[in-house]
Chain A
Amino acid sequence: QVQLHESGPGLVKPSETLSLSCTVSGGSISGHYWSWIRQPPGKGLEWIGYIHYSGTTKYSPSFWSRVTMSVDSSKNQFSLNLNSVTAADSAVYYCARLTSENFFYWYVGVWGQGILVTVSS
């Protein structure tokens, strides 16, 4: 069974870049779409974007000027970089895999446990 595990610094300074990785275990990163979703403390879910294992990306308009996602197939990992962070970027960040039953519709089928990132000086 595929499992996802987020890793990265739990504290980032304002104006710096938030960098997280997601390690995929129990399955291959190839052939799938991978996404990042965040949840500010006590608030709802926010979609950040997704990346195909081939490198194709699609970012939410709310983030596209600040976000970069990448895949490292050799490590079975994918990553998120969010630059110019502020306190409003403090959140639990989830990595996830999109799942399809029919090859034309994808839903979030597998979620990581989430990692709390706080933006503070």
Chain B
Amino acid sequence: EIVVTQSPLSLPVTPGEPASISCRSSQSLQHSNGHTYLDWYVQRPGQSPQVLIYMGSNRASGVPDRFSASGSGTDFTLKISRVEAEDVGVYYCMQTLQHRTFGPGTKVEI
């Protein structure tokens, strides 16, 4: 089973400032087709999770362009270029290469 870890687990942020979250997998998430099998989700307080990024670096429809993701192999990063108050919540990465496994989550708070 692919194990996914995240750091930090808690991230204090300042509105207007950048923020980044790291995600690491126990095995490479590069598929033989060349694509990265990793998604990013956010669960805002009191809400169901929603997708931010799929297949490594593709922003889902409606996601603001202040969110970006990068990485390959086993190391990945989600970046928020300028944090807004509405970005508070718990951010999860999830590998999709073998079954699906979520990371433990990173709580972003102002």
Residues on A lying within 8 angstroms of B by beta carbon are 44-47, 58, 60-61, 94, 99, 101, 104-109, 111-114
Contact = CB atoms under 8 A, between A and B. Distances in A.
B55 A105 contact: yes
Contacts of B54: 101, 105, 107
A114 B43 CA distance: 12
Given A60-B100, A104-B33, A108-B51, 19 more contacts: A44-B90, A44-B92, A44-B105, A45-B94, A46-B102, A47-B101, A47-B102, A58-B99, A94-B49, A105-B35, A105-B37, A105-B55, A105-B96, A107-B39, A108-B39, A108-B49, A108-B94, A111-B49, A112-B48
25 contacts: A44-B103, A44-B104, A45-B41, A45-B43, A45-B49, A45-B92, A45-B102, A46-B102, A47-B100, A47-B102, A58-B99, A101-B58, A104-B33, A105-B37, A106-B96, A107-B39, A107-B55, A107-B60, A108-B39, A108-B94, A109-B60, A111-B48, A112-B48, A113-B48, A114-B48
Nearest to A50: B100
B17 interface: no
A45 to B, nearest CB: 4
Interface of B: 1, 33, 35, 37, 39, 41, 43, 48-51, 54-55, 58, 60, 90, 92, 94, 96, 99-105
Contacts, number: 55
Closest 9 CB pairs of A and B: A107-B54, A111-B48, A47-B100, A45-B102, A44-B105, A107-B39, A105-B55, A44-B104, A60-B99
Contacts of A111: 48-50
A37 to B, nearest CB: 8
Contacts of A106: 96
Contacts of B99: 47, 58, 60-61
Contacts of A113: 48
Contacts of A104: 33
A96 B103 CA distance: 18
Nearest to A114: B48
Nearest to A47: B100
A13 B1 CA distance: 30
